[in-house]
Amino acid sequence: MGSTSAEHHGTEGVGRRDLIKRSAALGLISVPTMSFLSACASSGGDDSGDKAKAGKKTAKNPLAVNDTAGMEFVLFDGGFGKEYAEDAVKIYEKNFPKASVKFSATQKIQSTLQPRFNQGTPPDLIDNSGAEQMDMGVLVGKNQLTDLTPLLDAPSYDDPNKKVRDTLRPGIVEMGQFDGEKVWILYYAYTVYGVWYSQKALDSLDEQYPETWDQMLAVCAKAKKKGMAGWTYAGKYPYYLPFSLYPMIGKVGGREVLDAIDNLEPNAWKHPAVKACFEAYYELYKKGYVLKGTPGLDHIQSQTAWAEGKALFIPNGSWVENESANVIPKDFDLAVSAPTGLDSSDKLPFGTIWASGGEPFIVPAKAKNAAGGMEQLRIMLSEASSKNFTGKVKSLTAYNGGTDGIALTPGLKSGVAALDKAGENVVNPRMQDWYVQLQKEKIGVSGLGEMMAGRLTPAEAIKKIQGFADETAKDDSIKHYKHQ
């Protein structure tokens, strides 16, 4: 999900273009692809004659890949680089020496692949990420993708007694589903969202990470006395606030509250848990525990202020370690925690966290060698390939493991510990990939952003957001999704 994070350190500087690039990689903004995908859907093309014939199914080749068929893989060239994918391609080539493999990496996924979708000649595997990410909901709706269930039900690369689906982290399979059981997308990276802080700064206050809201307010009061704000956040892009606020709502009221919000149910935002959490956050503003000027800061400015010790806590995703590497001091001791709850009456235990997939891989419906594309993914979901990715790019993968023997960076180590603590209590709100505009502009900017700047009370913010959700629910031009 922080797939383009390293680009922020490139020569182009940190402008709006960078943010858009990263937001798209996060699934936070939708790139207008309706017209091209409509064109794809209508063009059809006769593909009956040029699809690779199935190969022989064996224990080593469970997807029956044709060992002489070519395989083409197009990767998004972002912050994770391309080395991890090139390494996995070498394994494919070793396993199928008679097959010619074409691998390429680009930042322009849509403009590179649009004509090929139109002609019915797409590659076999695509990392559909970045600013030119193709709209997933539209791809699914237009039947442009291959169902990846055969991959998930195949034996895993390392253990023939375990299916691929049984080796994946919580939420990965569900994230690839849009309607019903079919799985259209395999998210390869794994992002931990939560409250990020410097363990060194917390130690200097002689405090532990707060588990209840009263403790949170006490820690912030202590920080303020030492000239440090309790919180900051990306004020210009307040859709970062849900990274800690949504799992807090889930902790306080139970998963069903988040599901009701995702399902656009009437009055979902009026649930007492939502009200209690909004009021808790608003208290940070009212008591002066938010860094002055935060509403005017973008993501890079707020992260820089936080890294400089001007604020203790920031809601963010695990890409922040790579993205802020040039401003985080060596002795910062970066850590992440699940959100603080209200009190002992919360439905879920402390440790409940939001974590979910990033880097969406797809196999087009018209791929000539769909089995080859899926086999390449099966290789990438092996322990060795997963370790290779984590070691090179400071991020976890969808493979549930693959960290043994790797020297983990502080943030990554803390993220792994947070996931271990969460256990089954990992939530995965879908608003940011189901209803991009609602999440980003309306809930984020017009609702939470205004409340945290003190321009709306929690009650007003809730009323406004519920209105936006109701509008989206009634809008027939928007495809609606529901938790199964």
On average, the pLDDT of the chain sits at 88
- Give the tens place of pLDDT for each residue, 74-88: 999 877 889 999 999
Q: Could you give the domains of the chain? A: 5-191+356-423 (3.40.190.10), 194-354+429-474 (3.40.190.10)
- Residue 266 reports pLDDT greater than 90: yes
Neighbours of 228 (CB within 10 A): 18
- Residue 14 reports pLDDT greater than 70: no
Cβ(241)–Cβ(294) under 8 Å?
A: no
Cβ(80)–Cβ(389) under 8 Å?
A: yes
Tell whether the torsion through CA atoms of 32, 33, 38 and 43 is positive or negative.
positive
Instruction: Look up residue 342 and give its amino acid.
Output: L
Higher pLDDT among residues 75 and 51, named by residue: 75
- Give the tens place of pLDDT for each residue, 389-414: 998 888 899 999 888 888 889 999 99
Q: What is the pTM of this model?
A: 0.78
- Give the tens place of pLDDT for each residue, 275-334: 999 999 999 999 999 999 999 999 999 999 999 999 999 999 988 888 888 999 999 999
Instruction: Look up residue 235 and give its amino acid.
Output: G
Phi, psi of 122 (to 5 degrees): -75, 165
Q: 229: closest CA among 308, 146, 162, 320?
A: 308
Higher pLDDT among residues 139 and 363, named by residue: 363
- Residue 40 reports pLDDT greater than 80: no
- Give the tens place of pLDDT for each residue, 414-463: 999 999 999 999 999 998 878 878 988 899 999 999 999 999 999 999 99
- Give the tens place of pLDDT for each residue, 285-297: 999 999 999 999 9
Q: What is the dihedral of CA 381, 382, 384, 388, to 10 degrees?
A: 0
Burial class (CB in 10 A: 0-12, 13-18, 19+), 66: buried
Cβ(267)–Cβ(469) under 8 Å?
A: no
- Give the tens place of pLDDT for each residue, 170-181: 889 989 988 778
The span from the CA of 410 to the CA of 416, in Å, is 10
Which residue's structure tokens are 């005017």? 296
The span from the CA of 423 to the CA of 299, in Å, is 30
The span from the CA of 445 to the CA of 74, in Å, is 34
Q: What is the mean pLDDT of residues 29-35?
A: 36
